[in-house]
Amino acid sequence: MRFAVAWPTSLPLSNSISTAAPAPRREVPILLAPPAANHTSASVSPAIPKSPLRRNGSPAAAPPNSNPPLNAPHAMALSRRLLPLFLRRGAGASAHLSTAAAAAPAASASEEEDEQSVIVKGVRISGRPLYMDMQATTPVDPRVLDAMLPFYLSRYGNPHSRTHLYGWESDAAVEAARARVAALVGADPREIFFTSGATECNNIAVKGVMRFYRDRRRHVVTTQTEHKCVLDSCRYLQQEGFEVTYLPVRGDGLVDLAQLEDAIRPDTGLVSVMAVNNEIGVVQPLEEIGRICKEKGVPFHTDAAQALGKIPIDVNRMGIGLMSLSGHKIYGPKGVGALYLRRRPRIRVEPQMSGGGQERGIRSGTVPTPLVVGFGAACEIAAQEMDYDHRRVSALQQRLLDGIRAQVDEVVINGSMEHRYPGNLNLSFAYVEGESLLMGLKEVAVSSGSACTSASLEPSYVLRALGVEEDMAHTSIRFGMGRFTTEEEVDRAIELTVHQVKKLRDMSPLYEMAKAGIDLKSIEWSQH
């Protein structure tokens, strides 16, 4: 079956892809904006199509009965309205959004429930839970998906093909995306190298730097609260004979700058401290760390997967030498990331993958044009909306915290509230078993920590590094809010969380004893 794809020059409320097939003809609406008319580079603001031009460069008149193109606020508002609709629908959403499907006989309630229900550990969950796990991943912004679609459907050339138009236009789109990523962090586009994600970036940064300078640099400084891929990379280096200092953090999650400075030795080859912690949202003092590293002549690497697009980053002002970035943490696609690698003074790394020498030999493998274009679009949107998103998410965080604390006592905030990204709220509930609380909150998609280790029954190593006792670390819940989180979702999360905590405490003899004034720490449990 052949597909005829025609992109309009302005954005109607229902675009469609038509299949050239015998009657009856099917129309599958996309509800997304078309690419810009210029096919040599990615659209900068894909949700705002450009008007067609006359030969003299002036805008052409709109055809009769056509919908007017969207302006920026309209496109922004449309995407904010559409995404919750997509999220609520789940699988098969495009079929439900079709006008033909809307006219079809409605399925019975039991059929819809069977289709949308999921059984987890013997518990049937109907419908889609509220999504409050934005540190694990974020939904793709419709404007980002909009920018990616042409590179799946029509502009699908390999960006490394140098002999024809398909390769040229894909290469131009990749370079345009590279410039957008660089602009968000104040870097030169030549310092951005695309990878498969932040985990690969961290491996290249930590292992690559130390292996390149192995003859004179044999020591790494990092913290105990880093992401697992950084800690595992450091342990891997230890097996090769390198030395690693794992710095403790204060009770609020921040690194002690004096300890950091004292830990740097003449043979230290790298200092790696993450920008925003993925479990507790604490923002480290990047500028101060960068200053210390510059004075000591040591490259400074930061894992900024959770920071990109959420807090202002300037690699020059902060003295950052290497930085790991991720696409799916800022409403972009999964499977793409970027490594920032400083050119002046130049920092060298040993490539961790052999191949065709793409990305100037730093990371071999075909660059996935659609993913890179989406990453670039997500960075541009983040640059435009960062301040607004920060204010809005801060209000949601305060609403959630106040709502829970007004109805539940013995609630502890893990990590600094002053130095924190507001979209991450990590709470511990005393006298509540964490696994039971998570399973009870089946209508809210939350996490007990990093998505990479959330299946483990061990308490969070990040919380343990903060000095949180094991029983409290077991009861922690991470609420993640973002661009598309609504006040109604926050209020519902408050209601469900309060209900479940009270329910579990009613069944807890420890809570009854604590309320009766008994010091639980004074009890010798082995005698009972």
In order, the DSSP letters of 84-112 are HHHHHH-TTHHHHTSHHHHHSPPPPHHHH
How many whole angstroms separate alpha carbon 183 and alpha carbon 298?
25
Cβ burial, residue 459 (10 Å; 0-12/13-18/19+): buried
How many whole angstroms separate alpha carbon 109 and alpha carbon 453?
37
SS3 content of the chain, % helix, strand, coil (to 5): 40, 15, 45
Closest CA to 195 of 184, 212, 214, 181: 181
How many whole angstroms separate alpha carbon 503 and alpha carbon 487?
24
User: Which is catalytic among the residues 201, 234, 293, 452?
Assistant: 452
Please list the residue range(s) of the chain that carry CATH number 3.90.1150.10: 386-521
DSSP run (H or E) holding 148: helix 142-148
Classified by CATH at the fold level, domain 148-381 comes out as Aspartate Aminotransferase; domain 2 (3.40.640)
386-521 is classed CATH 3.90.1150.10: yes
Cβ atoms within 10 Å, residue 98: 18
The answer to whether 132 and 446 have CB atoms below 8 angstroms apart is yes
Scanning the structure block, which residue is given the tokens 């096919």?
Answer: 39
Query: Two tokens at 46?
Result: 């894909």
How many whole angstroms separate alpha carbon 252 and alpha carbon 420?
10
Known catalytic residue: 452?
yes
Supply the pLDDT for residue 172.
Answer: 98
The three-point CA angle 360-382-222 to 5° equals 60
How many whole angstroms separate alpha carbon 496 and alpha carbon 488?
12
Supply the pLDDT for residue 101.
Answer: 39
Scanning the structure block, which residue is given the tokens 């912004």?
Answer: 141
DSSP run (H or E) holding 3: strand 3-4
Please list the residue range(s) of the chain that carry CATH number 3.40.640.10: 148-381
Supply the pLDDT for residue 435.
Answer: 82
Q: What is the pLDDT along the chain (528 residues), one digit of tens a residue?
A: 444 444 433 333 333 333 334 344 333 343 333 334 344 333 333 333 333 333 344 444 444 443 444 445 445 555 555 555 555 544 443 333 333 333 344 455 555 555 566 676 566 666 789 999 999 999 999 999 999 999 999 999 999 999 999 999 999 999 999 999 999 999 999 999 999 999 999 999 999 999 999 999 999 999 999 999 999 999 999 999 999 999 999 999 999 999 999 999 999 999 999 999 999 999 999 999 999 999 999 999 999 999 999 999 999 999 999 999 999 999 999 999 999 999 999 999 999 999 999 999 999 999 999 999 999 999 999 999 999 999 999 999 999 999 999 999 999 999 999 999 999 999 999 999 888 898 899 899 999 865 455 555 678 999 999 999 988 999 999 999 999 999 999 999 999 999 999 999 998 877 777 777 777 666 666 654
Q: Residue 341: phi, psi to the nearest 5?
A: -135, 110
Query: Two tokens at 227?
Result: 């992401």
Q: Residue 334: phi, psi to the nearest 5?
A: -80, 155
